[in-house]
Amino acid sequence: MIVSVIGTGLIGGSLALTLKGNSFCTKVIGVDSNIANAQLALQLNIVDKIDNLQNAVRNSDLIIIAVPVDVALKVLPEVLDLIDNQVVIDVGSTKEQIVKIASSHSKRKRFVATHPIWGTEYSGPLAAVKDGFKGKVTVICNREESDVDALSIVEKMYDSLGMNRFYMDAVSHDIHAAYVSHISHITSFALALSVLEKEKEEDSIFELAGGGFESTVRLAKSSPDTWIPIFKQNRSNVLDVLNEQIFQLKQIKKLLEMEEFDTLYKLIQQANEIRKILK
């Protein structure tokens, strides 16, 4: 099988590296509008060849769209226009809009909407990691809208990555993603901005940064090129979650102001219930 990866950054590059390594495919063709990234992906042996979109699609069995979610909305119709019977997937972390875009295309059934839930705060080909997806979850959305054979190929691909498969509709996916992923990034960005502002007054604040701070603020290193399109596409759901988080923060603030530490203790105990879910 020949696979084309459109977008050779963290996710696309990691998929390419792993699929080459586990022998799922015989060749990986890379496509990237960023010439420097394309050449770097080739130099790092992430892909076997760099080509233009038209040639890559026509010479592949499986096409993976791994570009920012706003770009994916433009790329998907172009790819579907070029295919005969190949399989096309996207790997973006928002699903409702891309499923809508695909729904009106005559080749809709050759497309499978997916979201492999894994990533780091880094970007570009240098961030690519082999076997980073192992043991993680991939969501496959609206599977009933894809051809059975197309879905089967994509399922086998994710099985080869060692991922667990989960199925849901695109609308539900975006709601859940807002809670478990998107709000985490917003929180991290906000914390980083708060600390950077405080650091203007106290030069030594980062000297005291421990593991808790580092793990919480790690996501603030993530690229705005990736995350602004996600926030834009999932704006309504993100705002719902953000309003809930603001309510909780205000509640904690009020308890501190009123020195209601017994109530705050119980609130933290309630938060501890998350350990039953995240083990």
DSSP track, 103-154:
HTSTTGGGEEEEEEE---S--SGGG--TTTTTT-EEEEE-GGGS-HHHHHHH
The pLDDT assigned to 262 comes to: 96
At 118, give phi and psi (nearest 5°): -165, 155
Query: What is the H or E stretch that residue 41 is in?
Result: helix 35-43
Second-level CATH architecture of 2-168: 3-Layer(aba) Sandwich (3.40)
Instruction: Enumerate the domain spans of the chain.
Output: 2-168, 173-276
Whether 217 contacts 229, CB under 8 Å = no
**d(C-alpha 139, C-alpha 133), whole Å:** 13
Which of 136-164 are b and which e, b meaning 16 or more Cβ less than 10 Å from the residue's Cβ? Answer: eebbbbbbebbbeebbebbbebbebbebe
**d(C-alpha 57, C-alpha 84), whole Å:** 9
**d(C-alpha 264, C-alpha 253), whole Å:** 10
Mean pLDDT by 10 residues, the chain (279 residues): 97 96 96 96 97 97 98 98 98 98 97 96 93 96 98 98 97 96 94 81 63 79 94 97 95 96 95 81
**d(C-alpha 192, C-alpha 206), whole Å:** 11
Q: Tokens for 53? A: 């979109």
The whole model's pTM is what?
Answer: 0.91
Find all residues with CB under 8 Å of 96, minimum gap 6, and list them. 170, 171, 173, 174, 233, 234
For tokens 């950054």, the residue is: 9
The pLDDT assigned to 275 comes to: 83
Whether 79 contacts 53, CB under 8 Å = yes
For tokens 């433009």, the residue is: 74
**d(C-alpha 267, C-alpha 60), whole Å:** 54
Q: Among the CATH numbers 3.30.2290.10, 3.40.50.720, 1.10.357.10, 1.10.3660.10, which is that of 173-276? A: 1.10.3660.10
Residue length, the chain?
279
**d(C-alpha 37, C-alpha 125), whole Å:** 6
The pLDDT assigned to 201 comes to: 63
**d(C-alpha 53, C-alpha 78), whole Å:** 9
**d(C-alpha 3, C-alpha 254), whole Å:** 55
